């Protein structure tokens, strides 16, 4: 019968296997490229946004400074024309004539003790004075005749509505005045601040959209750029799982040498396997012929010597077969490109054959396996492994043998063979795995069955464990490589 089955997995810690197959996220080349590019894009756009906003603000303040410089020049010219400089005619600027309009000017005289006394102000300033920083006198002395700027608040009383001012100040000497005179011109910079904030908002939003677009472009570029690597990985996996013999696609110039080297390695491995198979075959012929001659010469003659020769020659023949099988399986498994063998076909053939062998005993073999389950290896090796296990179970069973097979994930499959016989004590299970060990000398055989199974299983990187069956007898759990479906 051929039904999907989920055999019981052998006990053991699988965390290491999952860690090996899942890998570490930090080792992803795709993530590394995307994160590095994204980090660089983020840093570059943040710097660009800061630089652009700062440049816009400085440009706007520079325009305000030019306007204030012109106002100071007009005040200086007007003050110079007054002779004594005590009364300054109103300059031709409508904003300075309107009360608290946002544009102001003021003239201060520096007294001998360093204090500054207002001698004139614009109508817009009314009775208020422009705020002076503490370090303004020292800055004006250091830059005598030049214009310096600073920020302060306007004359409005309400703290929530006091306009921010940009102030230009210059200390100069005018005719017929003994003390230096400080000229101040101020203008409301609220509009400049608002424009700067609006520019910053638009700039940051635009650069954010640009950054997201660039990150998406990087992601697409990395995916497209690394696609040949993904394809090469898939082809190598197909070769590893027996779906292909070579890498057949053409790749970009940077990757094509790698594909060619992999093909050369595959060719070399195939040559090694063929060479090993040839050596094994030659050895088999070289050893089996003398053994056959010895058995023929011993014949059926009676006596201690002929019996000894026959018995030891059969032991030699079993040992030779055992090691030749192991060498062939190791060569095929090491090559990693074995053919795929359908498990249901092999189980059906073995069940029919072994039921015929034990028909006098009335043994019934109930097997279950998914139709698409396949062994990643050669057919004769799977027949050797399962044949020994099922035959051993039939030999010691009362009447029933149950075989269930199914995938276990991670490219492996599990085969469980159980019988309703007397079973095997736990303290004897290790001994029965040794080559030539036979716990029941009355049963026919050479004692190599389980040893051959274990050797072949290990050659394929699998595992064999013994336990107690719910049916009352022995349970053998076999783990072997499985071919991927499709």
CATH number of the domain to which 467 belongs: 3.30.565.10
Of 214, 216, 222, 220, nearest to 45 by C-alpha is 214
- C-alpha span between 251 and 178 (Å, rounded): 89
Domain count, the chain: 2
The structure's pTM equals 0.50
Q: What is the pLDDT of residues 387-446, one digit of tens each?
A: 989 998 898 898 899 999 998 877 789 999 999 888 888 777 776 665 444 444 444 444
Closest among 177, 158, 16, 159 to 107, alpha carbons compared: 177
Assess if residue 405 is contained within a domain.
yes
Tell me, yes or no, whether 65 lies in a domain: no
Question: How many other CB atoms are there within 10 angstroms of residue 2's CB atom?
Answer: 16
In a domain, 212, yes or no: no
CATH number at residue 158: 3.30.450
- Please tell me the predicted confidence (pLDDT) of residue 2: 47
Kindly report, residue by residue over 312-345, the tens digit of the pLDDT: 777 777 777 766 666 666 655 555 455 788 999 9
List, in sequence order, the alpha helices (H) in 336-471: 343-357, 379-396, 429-432, 449-459
Angle between helices 379-396 and 304-335 (to 10 degrees): 130
Among residues 173, 190, 207, which one ends one of the domains? 190
Which is nearest to 243 in space by CA: 411, 406, 404, 371? 411
Task: Retrieve residue 125's tokens.
Answer: 């300033």
Residue 415 located in a structural domain: yes
Residue where a domain stops, chosen among 141, 174, 190: 190
CA distance 347 to 373: 11
For the stretch 345-397, pLDDT in tens is: 999 999 999 988 888 888 899 999 998 898 888 888 888 889 989 998 898 89
Asked, for residue 243, whether it belongs to a domain, the answer is no
- 3-17, 122-136, 212-226: least confidently modelled range: 3-17
Torsion, Cα of 293, 297, 302, 308 (10° steps): -40
The Cα 386–Cα 91 span in angstroms is 111
Q: What is the pLDDT of residues 138-153, one digit of tens each?
A: 888 888 889 988 988 8
Q: Looking at the chain, how many residues does it have? A: 486
Q: Are 185 and 20 in contact (CB under 8 A)?
A: no
Residue 267 inside a domain? The answer is no
- Say if 135 falls within a structural domain: yes
In the listed set 159, 175, 190, which residue is the last one of a domain according to the structure?
Answer: 190
Residue 423: give the domain boundaries: 339-486
Residue 384 lies in a domain: yes
């Amino acid at each position: 019968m051929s039904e999907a089955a989920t055999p019981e997995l052998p006990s053991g810690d699988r965390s290491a296997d999952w860690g090996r197959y899942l890998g570490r996220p930090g080792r992803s080349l795709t993530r590394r490229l995307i994160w590095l590019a994204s980090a660089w894009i983020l840093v570059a756009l943040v710097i660009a946004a800061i630089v652009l906003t700062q440049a816009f603000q400085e440009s706007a303040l520079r325009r305000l400074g030019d306007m204030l410089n012109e106002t100071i020049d007009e005040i200086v010219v007007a003050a110079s024309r007054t002779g004594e400089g005590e009364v300054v005619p109103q300059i031709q600027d409508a904003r300075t004539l309107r009360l608290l309009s946002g544009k102001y000017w003021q003239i201060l005289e520096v007294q001998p003790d360093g204090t500054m006394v207002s001698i004139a102000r614009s109508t817009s300033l009314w009775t208020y004075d422009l705020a002076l920083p503490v370090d303004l006198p020292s800055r004006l002395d250091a830059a005598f005749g030049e214009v310096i700027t600073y920020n302060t608040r306007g004359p409005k009383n309400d703290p929530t509505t006091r306009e921010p001012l940009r102030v230009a100040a210059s200390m100069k000497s005018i005719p017929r005045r003994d003390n230096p005179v400080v000229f101040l011109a101020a203008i409301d910079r609220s509009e400049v601040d608002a424009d700067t904030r609006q520019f910053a908002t638009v700039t940051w939003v635009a650069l954010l959209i640009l950054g997201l677009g660039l990150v998406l472009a990087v992601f697409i570029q990395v995916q497209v750029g690394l696609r040949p690597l993904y394809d090469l990985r898939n082809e190598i996996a197909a070769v590893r799982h027996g779906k292909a013999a070579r890498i057949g696609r053409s790749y970009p110039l940077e990757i094509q040498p790698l594909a060619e080297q992999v093909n050369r390695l595959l060719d070399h491995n195939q040559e090694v396997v063929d060479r090993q198979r040839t050596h094994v075959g030659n050895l088999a012929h070289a050893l089996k012929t003398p053994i056959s001659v010895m058995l023929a010469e011993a014949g059926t003659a009676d006596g201690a010597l002929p019996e000894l020769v026959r018995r030891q020659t059969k032991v030699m023949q079993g040992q030779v077969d055992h090691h030749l099988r192991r060498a062939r399986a190791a060569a095929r498994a090491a090559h990693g490109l074995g053919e795929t063998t359908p498990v249901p076909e092999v189980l059906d053939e073995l069940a029919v054959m072994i039921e015929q062998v034990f028909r006098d005993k009335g043994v019934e073999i109930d097997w279950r396996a998914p139709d698409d389950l396949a062994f990643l290896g050669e057919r004769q090796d799977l027949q050797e492994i399962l044949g020994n296990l099922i035959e051993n179970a039939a030999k010691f069973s009362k009447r029933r043998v149950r075989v269930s097979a199914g995938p276990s994930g991670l490219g492996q499959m599990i085969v469980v063979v159980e019988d309703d016989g007397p079973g095997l004590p736990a303290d004897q299970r290790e001994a029965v795995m040794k080559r030539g060990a036979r716990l029941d000398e009355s049963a026919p055989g050479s004692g190599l069955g389980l040893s051959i199974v274990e050797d072949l299983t290990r050659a394929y990187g699998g595992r064999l464990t013994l336990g107690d069956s719910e049916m009352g007898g022995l349970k053998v759990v076999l783990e072997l490589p499985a071919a991927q479906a499709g």
